[in-house]
Structure 1
Amino acid sequence: MVRKAICTVAAAAVALPVTLTPASAQRGKLPLVRDAEIEDLLRDYATPIFKAAGIANAEPQIILVNDKSFNAFVPDSRRMFINIGVIMESETPGEVIGVIAHETGHIAGRHLVRLRSAAANAQIISVIGMILGAGAATAGAAAGSGSAASGGAAAALGAGSVGQRSLLSYQRGEEAAADRAALRYLNATGQSPRGLLKTFQRMSEQQMFSRRFADPYAQSHPMAQERFNGLVRDAQSSKYFDKPEDYVLQYRHDLARAKLFAFTSHPSATLRAYPRSDKSPAAQYARAIAAMQSRGKAAVKEIDALIRTQPNNPYYYELKGQALLEGGDPRGAIAPFRKALSFKPNEPQFLVWLGYALVGANNPAYLPEAERILKRAIQRDPNSGVAYAQLAIAHGRQGERAEADLATAKSLMVRGDFEAAKRYAARAQQSLKRGTPAWLQADDIVSYKPPNLQRRG
């Protein structure tokens, strides 16, 4: 009886300590960002680290979260979530690479799997303590001893604290292990650990007030200053410590920061941060995006000026196509999206943009090409809700009702609206031949049960 109670509670508790805290995240609706340029940069940051960690063959997908706080986490061995705030706050590529190296340490060390086991063990400690505490309380009550009863209750509560602190201690140990692993990966790839140290310095400054009142044993992560102190000697002894940042990566990093700032800020704020007197490529990029955000007629002129500085930059043509598409000229957007694809023909987000423009041009002659382009994009990126939504429109305009419903259901699945997705999938099934691939796909959606999203920071 006691063993059964322990096993039941422990099993239920395994996921609790690592569940994402934001309500939107618990519903599986993290606010994600898709950007081909920044995702490409992050892959270039991560690839040497993944190789050094021995996980290159099962390379995790790096996913951007639309959150300006400095944070990153891994929910499993296949995905790494990085807030846009990590890029926006980092002045150098090394700071972002340090974050990626730390999270890679969790993946390579299989920390999430082991944490679930530690969580179960911690819960068992708590349950045993509560059972013993409840027994002491019962004995005290039978003897008429109020002090014994209160002591038993305290024992039960204390046992829960012991179990929790045991788990938190384990988590802190794994964070330290991931820090050490990050340092190894940076040395193995010939990169400076200065960025990793700078991240802990920044975090330490942010914690300066709160750490005075924090219980160090009630934290899931070591305090930032403690982490800095634990790494600084070995980091500074690295023969790569004074190695300068890669010029090309720094250039791309500056563009990425400017891009994120401009897309997430009011145009006036962008112009204050990147005034006309700043002639750097990053500042020109930010101002071109601000012009597009303002929906002004000068936007395309600004972007054309940007293109003249780098006529082989596919992301500048992507920006021009986006400006035209969002400005109400989808037909005009087709050419710049085709130009972007001429440089990166397999980039799924460029394919999505082109398909979007072809559908938006509202010309029946474009629809067969739009369908082919969007299906090609989905083959390369099956998580593009925009691609499915535009494909649904293309199917619908060609009179393909069942295919349109199925594409809509897939779009809703990507967005996390599972109930609406099930309704569209069920409707699609009514017109699809039973047992066909399309029918089976619709059936998968109808019977889908969403998993819990878990994290490891």
Structure 2
Amino acid sequence: MRRAARRAVALACVGAMALPVTLTPAFAQRKLPLVRDAEIESLMRDYAKPIFRVAGLGNSEPSIILVNDKSFNAFVPDSRRMFINIGVIMEAETPGEVIGVIAHESGHIAGRHLVRLRAAAANAQIMSVIGMILGAGAAAAGAAAGSGSATSGGAAAVASAGSLGQRSFLAYQRGEEAAADRAALRYLDKTGQSARGLLKNFQRMAEQQMFSKRFADPYAISHPMAQDRFNGLLADAQKSKFFDKPDDYVLQYRHEMAKAKLFAFTSHPSATLRKYPRKDKSPPAQYARAIAAMQARGKAAVKEIDPLIRQHPTNAYFHELKGQALLEGGDPKGAIPSFRKALAIKPNETQFMVWLGYALVGANNPSYLPEAEKVLKKAIQRDPNSGVAYAQLAIAHGRQGERAEADLATAKGLMVRGDFGAAKRYAARAQKSLKRGSAAWLQADDIVAYKPPSVPGQRRR
């Protein structure tokens, strides 16, 4: 039992802010798509920076990775990455609620609650980490339910060891959650921010748990009941001189813009127009309607986006949206100036580089290809997890007759997407035409030799 518990405790921080969820093995194997958006990622970094500093993470700030899932959830698999569902942003009414999630997850990292999982996750591709976390979540859920049919060896061992041992393990998890909650409270106070958002998260969760709490055994779940977490923090939170401090109005504006953007990109245009009707003249509503128009009409949406640009000519993200509308509307050459303008405003934004490279390749003009290759390589150097950049770089190489380089770029892009089998095939093909021992050959060889890490405690098949 002790050995199995050591394996299973690596799952302790999975879904740290979420309600306990049962994950089936089939769901655990599904690859969740990631969300890449320069504007929202910038907002998340600004939320996190003060928290990371007081948590002692400032010298090696974790990357915040957005997951395309509308549930209110976040998790940290290691000290370098924090995964946050877009549902956290979409449900949160204030920046403080999102910051509360980040503070809690930072507490897990600073408290070294991840040490057992870190060894497996340290060198894993992002999609491997998601697979590990989802697989681990399925194992933990199976153990918590006492299921004898769990496919994970670790989960089966915990479940079969008896109720007492199972509850001991889950109590360890609850202890870590309480420690992370307390740490979050300290971080918010040290950064001069109210804990109201953190408490609001627990209130939201408590409302969702309300109907099941009557039948729930608090010792048979891996996280404390949300109302208990709220009650445990409320008195200390109210002692802070910052408790009644309002959210920063600039962050609140950016938060509303991010929510509108996410809603519009993840909903049918008609749903967006119902939520943000034309009588609503606020910037978030105009933004959402412009995105809805792009979703519905592509290039024709430019007339919806141009008024935003006239009102806010230095907003790089509005120029990005116009470029995207033109690109997706079948006019990549026309999109190039918009992406150039966005880059001129924010010259270090990697995703604008990717968009520009995409448009240069899409214009199908051989004279653009050298610039496309240069800007895409620069983007990849700054962000090696951009599957789109690798895909476009592969096209640029291919059109210039560089077959091996195209195959290697394709292999790298497939690795980012988590399609390791196809990545190995392209890498092996690239190796045949690359000089043995060269940097490119060695990169291909690393892909061919790559073995995705398994979930801790899971038997390989």
TM range (shorter): 0.7 to 0.9
Q: Which structure 1 residue ranges, 5 or more long, are not aligned?
A: 1-5, 127-155
Alignment match, 1:168: 170
Report how far residue 452 of structure 1 moved. 3.3
Secondary structure, in 3 states, of the residue corresponding to 2:83? strand
What is the aligned counterpart of 1:102 among 101, 104, 107?
A: 104
Calculate the TM-score normalised by the size of structure 1: 0.86
Q: Which moved more, 1:169-178 or 1:6-15?
A: 6-15
Give the C-alpha shift of residue 14 in structure 1. Answer: 5.8
Cα distance change of structure 1 residues 412 and 235 upon mapping to structure 2, 3 Å threshold? same
Cα distance between partner residues in 1 of 2:118 and 2:60: 22
CA separation in 2, counterparts of 1:159 and 1:376?
53
Distance 1:13 1:116, change over 3 A: farther
Q: Which has the larger radius of gyration?
A: 1
Contact 1:28 1:452 (8 Å CA) reproduced: no
Distance 1:98 1:19, change over 3 A: closer
- How far apart are the structure 1 equivalents of 2:8 and 2:253? 46
The change in CA–CA distance for 1:355 and 1:397 in structure 2 (over 3 A counts) is: same
User: What letter is aligned with 2:377?
Assistant: K
Q: Pick one of 370, 376, 388 that aligns with 1:368.
A: 370
Structure 1 distance, partners of 2:295, 2:102, is: 31
Tell me by how many angstroms 1:431 deviates: 0.3
Task: Decide whether aligned partners of structure 1 residues 304 and 378 sit closer, same or farther in structure 2, where only a CA change above 3 A counts.
Answer: same
Kept after mapping to 1: 8 A contact 2:70/2:87: yes
2:177 touches 2:223 (CA, 8 Å); kept in 1? yes
| Conserved? CA contact 1:14–1:116, under 8 Å | no
CA shift, 1:451, in A, is: 1.4
Give the 4+ runs in structure 1 shifted more than 6 A.
Answer: 16-20, 114-117
Q: Which residue of 2 aligns with 1:242?
A: 244
Mapped contact 2:386–2:413 kept (Cα < 8 A): yes
Shift, 1:346, TM fit: 1.3
C-alpha distance after superposition, 1:128-156 (max 9, x if no partner): xxxxxxxxxxxxxxxxxxxxxxxxxxxx9
How big is each residue's C-alpha offset from its partner over 1:259-294, in whole Å with a ceiling of 9 and x where there is no partner? 000000000000010011111100000000000000
- For residue 388 of structure 2, what is the aligned residue in structure 1? 386
Residues in 2 aligned to 1:45 and 1:157: alpha-carbon distance in whole angstroms? 39
Partner of residue 320, structure 2: 318
Cα separation, partners in 2 of 1:23 and 1:81, compared to 1, 3 Å: farther
Which of 197, 212, 218 is the matching residue for 2:220?
Answer: 218
- Paired amino acid for 2:58: A
Give me the whole-angstrom Cα distance separating, in 2, the residues matched to 1:350 and 1:372. 14
Give, in angstroms, the shift of residue 327 of structure 1: 0.4
The code of the aligned residue for 1:447 comes to A
Matched with 2:439 is 437
Cα drift, residue 211 of structure 1: 0.9
Which of 339, 342, 361 does residue 340 from structure 1 map onto?
342
Distance verdict in 2 for CA 1:176–1:63, change over 3 Å: same
Q: Name the % identity.
A: 79
- What SS is found at the alignment partner of 2:405? helix
Cα pair distance change 1:385/1:25, threshold 3 Å: farther
- 1:346-386 deviation digits (Å, cap 9, x = unpaired): 11100000000000000000000000000000000001010
How many angstroms does 1:116 deviate by?
A: 9.4
Alignment of 1:51-450 (within 5 A): 51-113=53-115, 159-295=161-297, 298-450=300-452
Query: How far has the Cα of 1:29 moved from its partner?
Result: 2.6
Q: Which runs of 5+ in 2 are unaligned?
A: 16-22, 120-135, 144-157, 457-461
SS in 2 for 1:208: helix
TM-score using structure 2 length: 0.86
In the TM superposition, what is the alpha-carbon distance from 1:298 to its structure 2 partner? 3.9
Corresponding position of 2:147 = none
Contact map agreement 1:32 1:63 (CA 8 A) in 2: yes
